[in-house]
Structure 1
Amino acid sequence: MPKSRIRKKPDSTPPAPTKKATAIKLTSRSWVAPVMLALFLIGLAWIVLFYVTEGDLPIKSLANWNIVVGFGFIAAGFGVSTQWK
Structure 2
Amino acid sequence: MCSKVSLRSDFPWAACIASMAGLLGIAWISVYYVTGGSFPIPAWEKWNLVAGISLIVTSLVIASRQK
Shorter-normalised TM-score: what interval? 0.7 to 0.9
1:40 aligned onto 2:6 = no
Q: Which residue of 2 aligns with 1:49?
A: 31
Q: How many residues align structurally?
A: 59
CA-atom RMSD, angstroms? 1.3
How many percent of aligned residue pairs carry the same amino acid? 32
Paired residue secondary structure (2:23): helix
Between Structure 1 and Structure 2, the one with more helix by share is 2
- Specify the alignment match of 1:74 in structure 2: 56
Look up the equivalent residue of 1:38 and give its one-letter code.
M
Unaligned segments of structure 2, at least 5 residues: 1-8
Q: 1:31 is aligned with what amino acid? A: W
Which is bigger in relative contact order (C-alpha 8 A, separation at least 6)? 2
Provide the rounded CA distance (Å) in 1 between the counterparts of 2:38 and 2:11.
38
Distance 1:80 1:60, change over 3 A: same
Residue 50 of structure 2: SS of its match in structure 1? helix
What runs of 5+ residues in structure 1 fail to find an aligned partner?
1-26
Alpha-carbon shift at residue 83 of structure 1 (Å): 2.1
Segments ≥4 residues shifted beyond 2 Å: none
TM-score, normalised to structure 2's length?
A: 0.81
